[in-house]
Amino acid sequence: MSYPYQIKSFEEYKSVYNKSVMDPEGFWGDIAGHFYWRKRWDKVLNWNFKDPKVEWFIGGRLNITENCLDRHLGSLGNKPAIIWEPNDPEEHHRILTYRELHTKVVQFANVLKNNGVQKGDRVCLYMGMVPELAIAVLACARIGAIHSVIFGGFSAQSIADRLMDAQAEYVITCDGAYRGNKEIPLKSVIDDALVQCRFVKRVIVLTRTRTPVSMIKGRDVWWEDEIRKVETMGNPDCPAEEMDSEDPLFILYTSGSTGKPKGVVHTCAGYMVYTNYTFVNTFQYQPGDIHFCTADIGWITGHSYIVYGPLSAGATTLLFEGIPTWPDAGRFWEVVDKYKVNVLYTAPTAIRSLMGFGLGPLQGKQLSSLKVLGTVGEPINEEAWHWYNENIGKGRCPIVDTWWQTETGGVLISNMAGVTPAKPSYATLPMPGVQPVLVDENGKEITGNNVSGNLCIRFPWPSIIRTTYGDHERCRTNYFSAYENMYFTGDGCYRDEEGYYRITGRVDDVLNVSGHRIGTAEVENAINMHAGVVESAVVGYPHDIKGQGIYCFVIFQGSHGDENLNRQDITQTVSRIIGPIAKPDKIQFVPGLPKTRSGKIMRRILRKIAEGEMENLGDTSTLLDPAVVDEIKKGKL
């Protein structure tokens, strides 16, 4: 596979960028021409940010799996598509060539059909990081079913909420998942979720851990049995469903500042073109390279840069089941050496946590295959950047700091490895086709350099969010109403003297904990479910490893006397309602919350207290009861 659209120099980047802004349709039309279409598009783009309505490659017909699999069979059939490293280094790894992956996807697509899944149906995937997760994702895409992957760290209640929102009648899961020394009983969590979701018709269960499971008659079937059935059926083929460019490809739930998580919808063609383009350019992928993205497929990073981006580019993608610190903190480096990984893409939180183990775990590790390093998910502090650069990249691997979001589908602002300049803690420059704007609170554009503001994008790129599933109005109010004719990212941003962008973090009530997005309102709702809780307010505070920690101020009644026990109960409640990933780091019991006369909680004050900036609380005179602030300050954890 060659990539004629791979940018090779800073000069070329500048001219390509200019073209992409002057003639976006011509630009993206050229890129899209490198894919396999059943029918070419009639028109490249239709858009307005008012409704919003964005359509790319209108009238085009395609199937993304023909681009990720079938079109590679001739030239790359025997080349590895997926390398799978299991949780336990003693267990045998697996390698799936493009031909093998194709065969397995086709087989499982037939399993889905046999079980009644049709084009447009929503299929929920709740699995560990096994190759079958990628296979299931692609099998859904093969038959035009809309997949919705849920990360294994979410609770039964979170799953039920998502299943109901998506009206998903099919679930694919595993008996259990291995993560470090833990075994997570995935099927059992699904069973708890399904108590509320009687509309689910079928659960397909893959054997992984041999964790005991209860298989419900008429509803639950084993993955392996179903594969055997299609094997005996004879016809091993499953022609790809012909999809419209704008047919939904998947739904992925993510947290916002209000209410329940929303289902971000991405569509077939634009998502395919953009993830491929950014994969090839950001990481400067070369044929034969081993690409290791350490994210979970349950997040957008895994969708775009483990599955669709790499496979559409005919790349070899490494899928790792485990965690960076098990059996020891040298695990990533061991995997890099074992497979001669060329591109390593991970999160700042992982880097910071590994930094904490010192250089011991790096002893005896060569890391000489590495060519490119990447980070994603949260701002990277300079210390972590330099540690990564010196100890992992040995000063010879460019680091790409990729800024993007679930809603953007692919990387929007990032340097390109070795092609455009890197700058520690800066995402640097926009991808071709991406037009960032900084605006002030009043929606006025802030021009020039050396300025800060709220980050918006003024023109659509192919993988922009199309809607929030089942509630288009929510999509409009969340992203397109704050500033007229612009997509609002929710992030604050600084543009330096040279025009380079540095993302400073969320400006709304969304936390970024270990690179995971968590809404403060969601955590508050979960805490408030606890019988003893009267009211709560949740804010973020700087955390050395996680980036942000979750700080909860709680008014509690009905205490059983022991504060620590009460804390554990509240933590357990959050874990039960949202999942272990949203567990509070600090819970402070308070007599009251700082409220304005109209009853609004002044989070600004709580944020300052949580950050330890007690002296600097600003104007508290509008508070209903200013004395409560002193009480809260006294009890600060």
Cβ proximity to ligand PRX: between 101 and 482 the closer is 482
Hey, which residues between 300 and 319 contact ligand PRX (CB under 6 A)?
A: 300-301
- What is the closest distance, in whole angstroms, from the C-beta atom of residue 477 to ligand PRX in the complex? 17
Beta strand 290-293 pairing with 343-346? parallel
Residue 522 touching ligand PRX (CB under 6 A): no
Cβ proximity to ligand PRX: between 300 and 434 the closer is 300
Cα separation, 505 vs 539, whole angstroms: 14
- What is the closest distance, in whole angstroms, from the C-beta atom of residue 446 to ligand PRX in the complex? 19
Hey, which residues between 215 and 254 contact ligand PRX (CB under 6 A)?
A: 254
Contacts with ligand PRX: how many residues (CB under 6 A)? 22
Interface segment toward ligand PRX; rule CB under 6 A; list 327-335, 389-397, 505-513, 616-624:
505-513
Cβ proximity to ligand PRX: between 220 and 509 the closer is 509
Residue 378 touching ligand PRX (CB under 6 A): yes
Residue 548 touching ligand PRX (CB under 6 A): no
From 495, 17, 487, 102, select the one nearest 281 (Cα to Cα).
Answer: 17
Interface segment toward ligand PRX; rule CB under 6 A; list 123-131, 227-235, 499-507, 622-630:
499-507
Cβ proximity to ligand PRX: between 76 and 300 the closer is 300
Cα separation, 260 vs 584, whole angstroms: 18
Cβ proximity to ligand PRX: between 161 and 401 the closer is 401
Q: Is 331 exposed, middle or buried (0-12, 13-18, 19+ CB in 10 A)?
A: buried
For residue 571 the two structure tokens come to 């933590």
Cβ proximity to ligand PRX: between 251 and 503 the closer is 503
- What is the closest distance, in whole angstroms, from the C-beta atom of residue 160 to ligand PRX in the complex? 21
- According to DSSP, the residues that pair with 251 across neighbouring strands are 265
Residue-level length of the chain: 637
Cα separation, 503 vs 1, whole angstroms: 34
Site string for ligand PRX, 148-187 (x = CB under 6 A): ----------------------------------------
Beta strand 436-439 pairing with 451-457? antiparallel
Hey, which residues between 251 and 270 contact ligand PRX (CB under 6 A)?
A: 254
φ, ψ dihedrals at 453, nearest 5°: -175, -170
Locus of tokens 């104007």? 619
Query: Using an 8 Å Cβ cutoff, are 410 and 381 in contact?
Result: no
CA angle 75, 76, 78 (to 5 degrees): 120
Cα separation, 102 vs 69, whole angstroms: 6
Q: What share of the chain is helix, strand, coil (3-state, %, to 5)?
A: 35, 25, 40
By beta carbon distance, the residue nearest ligand PRX is: 406
Cβ proximity to ligand PRX: between 254 and 566 the closer is 254
For residue 460 the two structure tokens come to 């659509």
Cβ proximity to ligand PRX: between 63 and 467 the closer is 467
Cα-atom radius of gyration of the chain, to the nearest Å?
24
Cα separation, 110 vs 237, whole angstroms: 8
Considering only 263, 309, 432, 490, the residue that binds ligand PRX (CB under 6 A) is 490
List all residues 6 or more positions away from 211 whose beta carbon is below 8 Å from its beta carbon: 175, 176, 183, 185, 187, 188
Considering only 124, 130, 269, 376, the residue that binds ligand PRX (CB under 6 A) is 376
Cβ proximity to ligand PRX: between 62 and 306 the closer is 306
- Taking CA atoms, 336 is separated from 284, 340, 352, 541, in Å, by 18, 5, 18, 33
Considering only 104, 122, 262, 506, the residue that binds ligand PRX (CB under 6 A) is 506
Cβ proximity to ligand PRX: between 57 and 404 the closer is 404
- What is the closest distance, in whole angstroms, from the C-beta atom of residue 410 to ligand PRX in the complex? 9
φ, ψ dihedrals at 308, nearest 5°: -70, -45
- What is the closest distance, in whole angstroms, from the C-beta atom of residue 128 to ligand PRX in the complex? 20
- According to DSSP, the residues that pair with 84 across neighbouring strands are 94, 319
Hey, which residues between 382 and 441 contact ligand PRX (CB under 6 A)?
A: 401-406, 427
List all residues 6 or more positions away from 136 whose beta carbon is below 8 Å from its beta carbon: 108, 123, 125, 127, 147, 172
Q: How far is CA 50 from the centre of its chain?
A: 26
Site string for ligand PRX, 333-372 (x = CB under 6 A): ----------------------------------------
Considering only 139, 503, 518, 537, the residue that binds ligand PRX (CB under 6 A) is 503
Considering only 110, 353, 478, 512, the residue that binds ligand PRX (CB under 6 A) is 512
Binding site for ligand PRX (CB under 6 A): 254, 300-301, 376-379, 401-406, 427, 489-491, 503, 505-506, 512, 517
